[in-house]
Structure 1
Amino acid sequence: PKSARIYSETLSNLGVSTDQEVKIIRYGFEGWHLRYKLEKDLIEEYDAQVWEWAS
C-alpha cells in the first residue's frame, strides 16, 4: 500500500493525468505468483527457475 500511495501522489504532484488505477495485491507478489503462475496470458516468457523463491 505504501508504494501505491507514493506512486499515486507522485503522479498528482507532477500534474500527470492518467486513467490508470492503483490496485493493491492481496498477499503481495508472492500470493499473486502462487495463484497465477500457470496463467500463460498473465506472465510473458515465464521461467519457473527465476521465480523459485516465490513458490
Structure 2
Amino acid sequence: MKTLTTTKIIEATVAATAILAGAAVIIPAAGILAAVGLVAGGLVAMAALESKGRAY
C-alpha cells in the first residue's frame, strides 16, 4: 500500500512539473507574440499616417 501511495505522489509531482514547464514555455511565447503584434500594428499605423501626410 505504501509503495502505491509513493508511486501516486511521484506521478502527481511529475505531472505538475510537466504542466508548469509547459506553462513556462507557452505563456512567454504568447507574450512575445502579443508584443510582436503590438509593434507590427504600431508600424502599420505609423506607415498609414506617413503615407496620408505625404499625400497632401
Question: Which of the five TM-score ranges fits, normalised by the shorter chain?
Answer: under 0.3
Give the structure-2-normalised TM-score. Answer: 0.27
> Which has a greater percent of helix?
2
Q: Which protein, 1 or 2, shows the higher relative CO under an 8 Å CA cutoff with sep ≥ 6?
A: 1
